[in-house]
Amino acid sequence: MYKNRLYLIENKTSLHVGSGDANFGIIDKEIQRDAITKYPTIHSSSLKGALKEYCNFKHNTDDGEKFISYIFGDEDNAGKVRFIDAHLLSVPMRSDKEPYYHCFSPKSIAQLLDFTDTFSIELKNKDALLKLANYSGKDILVKEGTPIIEDEQAKEDKSFDLSVLEEFVDASVALVPNNLYEELLKNLPVIARNQLNNGESKNLFYEEVLPRKSKFFTVISEPTYLYKDDETRLENAFDRFSGYLTDKDTIHIGANASIGYGVCTFMELGHE
């Protein structure tokens, strides 16, 4: 049995978690994407590696090595914590009325609801979220006004309670139809980078990034079946681990930390 915790991840700076796939198009380095939705994602192995590095830095007490092995595993034993892929929940998109709207899609909301059901996590406003997940219209919906979002006209619709999405973000929200959302996510920012060899410019390459303030959700699971005589068990290890994730320090995920990519924060949802 597992105790499952739901986390919201926000990238405070541009994020590039590379897919590692060979690409012969215009973009040399693409980001990871979900095989089904084609939305940006953070694979569990990338997430686990980033969190392990962060916890190595944070946990400098006498039992540090034992704690890290306990949570993440080592050469001899698997880690006790289970990590799940992080899925995109919302992404900021430009508008003529405000700098940006936090844009959700019915599919991204449906994925969140599916995860909370699968992992038995209580989520507030579930009925209102389910109605948004079932939206099948062709218009971008907002709480009020008629802004233009990414060159598309949005409209106000009081029959949908968009305020429930404000639990997850700190900006105005919009609901974008699935087909338009997927199309917009095909055209993420691409940054030209200069490859250097001993300080000399050798080649330009193009790197896809996810814009800052995008939101992911993920589930991290802690086992509840451990034996009392487990020699590697540490008192309150999981609470300590969760505390590291949700304190005020930022966590680096993905490539290019030296130029400020991948600065992220975690917030736990559905936990009192």
| Residue spans per domain, the chain | 1-16+44-84+212-272, 90-187
Residue 124, both tokens: 């507030």
3-state secondary structure of 78: strand
Mean of pLDDT values over 254-263: 89
**How far apart, in whole angstroms, are the C-alpha atoms of residue 173 and residue 164?**
10
Q: What average pLDDT does the structure give for the chain?
A: 87
* 69-89 average pLDDT score: 91
pTM of the model: 0.89
User: According to the model, what pLDDT value does residue 253 have?
Assistant: 95
CATH number of 1-16+44-84+212-272: 3.30.70
Task: Pick the more confident residue, 231 or 246.
Answer: 246
- Most confidently modeled of 61-75, 127-141, 197-211? 127-141
Residue 257, phi then psi, degrees to nearest 5: -60, -30
pLDDT at res. 266: 96
pLDDT of amino acid 58: 79
Q: Is the pLDDT of residue 272 over 50?
A: no
What pLDDT, on a 0 to 100 scale, did the predictor assign at position 142?
97
SS3 of 9, please?
strand
For residues 142 and 172, the answer to whether their CB atoms sit within 8 Å is yes
CA distances, 264 to each of 72, 186, 206, 245, 246 (Å): 20, 22, 23, 10, 11
Decide if pLDDT at 104 tops 70: yes
Confidence label for 54 from pLDDT (cuts 50, 70 and 90)? very high
Please say if the pLDDT value at position 209 is more than 50: yes
Amino acid found at 34: D
